[in-house]
C-alpha cells in the first residue's frame, strides 16, 4: 500500500504542478515525462532483467516513425497513428529480440548497437519519406486528438502525464508480479532460474518486447506532442541517453528513470546557461555521482532508507 501510495503520489504531484509551474518549467516537465517513459521501458530490460541494450533508439524511432509516417503519408489521425507507433515498437523489438537474445553479454550489446545503426541508416536511406536528418514537422491540424489540440501546452502536459502515469503504474505492477520477480532472478543468476524450471528465453523475449513497446509508445508520443520526427532520434545518442538516465536515477528501481531523466535534463539546462562547456559540467557531475552513489539516486535511497522500495 505504501508503495502504491508513493508512486500515485508522484503522479498527483505532477498533476498539481501543472497548475502552478511557470511556462518554461511546465514545458520542460512535459518533455521529461515523455523521455522518462522511454527510460522506464529501457529500465525493464536493463535494470530488472540485466540485459544491456545499446540499441533502444531503434524502438523509440520505430514508434516515432510508425506514428509520424502514418500521419504524414497515410493521413492517419492521432489515435490510430499512436497505435501504429506502438505496434511498430512491438514488432521491431520482437524481431530484434528473436535475433539478439541468442547472444548474451557483450555480444548482445554489439548486436543491438548494430541493428539500431542499421535502423538509423534506413531512416536516412528512405529520405524521400522521412526527410532524413532534417526530419518533418507534424502540423497542428494533424495533432487534433478527439477534438483536443495536442500542440497546446496544457493539453500536451496532461497527455504526457497520462503516458507517464500508465508506464509508471505498469512498471510497478510488472516488477512486483511473479513475472517481474523472475526477470530479477534472471538478472541475478540465469542458470539457477533455468534449473528452477522457468523458460529463460521466453521471459527475456517478453521483457524485451514490453521494453521496446514502451520505448515505441514514448517515441510516438514525443513526435506527436512536440510535432516533429527526425533521424536524430534514431541515432546512437538516443540509445545512450536512456542508459545514462537509468544509471543516474537508479537501475532496477521504478522511480529511478524519472529521477534520472529529470536530473540530467536540468543539469544540462542549468550548466548550458552558465558556460558553453556545459557537457563538461554534466560530465563532472556524472563522475561524482557514480563515485558517491554508484547505484544511482533511487538505488541509494533504497540502500539507506527503504530496503523494500521496488
| Stretch binding other proteins (CB under 8 A), from 8-16, 39-47, 187-195, 216-224 | 187-195
Cβ closest to other proteins, residue 200 vs residue 293: 200
Binding of other proteins by 184 (CB under 8 A)? yes
Q: If you search the block for the grid coordinates 545514462, which residue do you land on?
A: 244
At residue 149, the 3 state secondary structure works out as: strand
Binding of other proteins by 188 (CB under 8 A)? yes
Q: If you search the block for the grid coordinates 529480440, which residue do you land on?
A: 97
Cβ neighbours of residue 64 closer than 8 Å, sequence gap 6 or more: 85, 219, 220, 222, 223, 229, 233, 234
Residues 268-307 contacting other proteins, CB under 8 A: none
Cβ closest to other proteins, residue 101 vs residue 182: 182
Residues 192-211 contacting other proteins, CB under 8 A: 192-200
Cβ closest to other proteins, residue 268 vs residue 293: 293
| Stretch binding other proteins (CB under 8 A), from 53-61, 87-95, 179-187, 263-271 | 179-187
Task: Judge contact between 46 and 251, C-beta under 8 A.
Answer: yes
Task: Report how far apart, in Å, the C-alpha atoms of 98 and of each of 94, 123, 204, 301 are.
Answer: 6, 22, 10, 36
| Stretch binding other proteins (CB under 8 A), from 51-59, 184-192, 214-222, 289-297 | 184-192
Cβ closest to other proteins, residue 198 vs residue 278: 198
| Stretch binding other proteins (CB under 8 A), from 82-90, 154-162, 178-186, 240-248 | 178-186
Binding of other proteins by 178 (CB under 8 A)? yes
Give the binding-site size for other proteins (rule: CB under 8 A): 17
Distance (Å, whole) CA 81 – CA 233: 18
Task: Judge contact between 242 and 131, C-beta under 8 A.
Answer: no
Task: Judge contact between 224 and 143, C-beta under 8 A.
Answer: yes
At residue 309, the 3 state secondary structure works out as: coil
List the one residue out of 69, 91, 89, 93 whose CA is nearest residue 81: 69
Min. distance of Cβ 172 from other proteins in angstroms? 17
- Residues 206-235: x/- map of binding to other proteins (CB under 8 A)? ------------------------------
The residues of the shown chain that bind other proteins, judged by CB under 8 A, are 178, 181-182, 184-185, 188-189, 191-200
Amino acid at each position: 500500500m505504501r508503495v502504491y501510495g508513493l508512486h500515485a503520489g508522484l503522479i498527483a504531484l505532477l498533476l498539481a504542478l501543472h497548475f502552478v509551474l511557470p511556462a518554461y518549467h511546465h514545458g520542460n516537465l512535459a518533455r521529461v515525462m515523455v523521455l522518462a517513459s522511454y527510460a522506464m521501458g529501457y529500465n525493464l530490460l536493463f535494470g530488472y532483467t540485466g540485459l544491456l541494450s545499446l540499441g533502444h533508439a531503434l524502438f523509440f524511432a520505430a514508434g516515432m516513425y510508425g506514428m509520424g509516417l502514418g500521419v504524414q503519408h497515410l493521413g492517419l489521425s492521432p489515435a490510430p497513428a499512436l497505435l501504429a507507433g506502438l505496434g511498430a515498437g512491438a514488432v521491431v523489438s520482437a524481431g530484434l529480440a528473436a535475433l539478439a537474445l541468442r547472444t548474451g553479454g557483450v555480444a548482445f550489446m554489439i548486436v543491438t548497437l548494430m541493428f539500431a545503426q542499421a535502423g538509423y541508416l534506413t531512416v536516412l536511406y528512405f529520405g524521400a519519406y522521412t526527410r532524413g536528418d532534417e526530419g518533418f514537422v507534424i502540423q497542428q491540424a494533424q495533432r487534433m486528438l478527439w477534438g483536443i489540440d495536442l500542440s497546446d501546452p496544457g493539453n500536451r502536459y496532461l497527455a504526457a502525464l497520462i503516458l507517464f502515469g500508465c508506464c509508471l503504474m505498469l512498471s510497478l505492477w510488472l516488477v512486483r508480479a511473479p513475472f517481474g520477480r523472475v526477470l530479477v532472478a534472471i538478472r541475478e543468476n540465469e542458470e539457477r532460474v533455468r534449473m528452477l524450471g522457468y523458460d529463460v528465453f521466453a521471459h527475456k523475449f517478453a521483457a524485451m518486447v514490453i521494453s521496446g513497446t514502451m520505448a515505441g509508445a514514448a517515441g510516438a508520443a514525443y513526435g506527436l506532442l512536440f510535432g516533429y520526427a527526425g533521424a536524430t532520434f534514431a541515432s546512437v545518442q538516443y540509445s545512450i541517453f536512456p542508459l545514462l538516465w537509468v544509471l543516474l536515477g537508479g537501475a532496477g528501481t521504478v522511480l529511478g528513470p524519472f529521477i534520472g531523466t529529470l536530473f540530467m535534463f536540468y543539469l544540462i539546462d542549468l550548466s548550458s546557461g552558465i558556460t558553453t562547456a556545459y557537457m563538461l559540467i554534466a560530465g563532472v557531475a556524472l563522475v561524482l555521482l557514480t563515485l558517491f552513489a554508484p547505484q544511482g539516486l533511487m538505488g541509494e535511497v533504497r540502500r539507506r532508507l527503504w530496503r523494500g522500495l521496488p
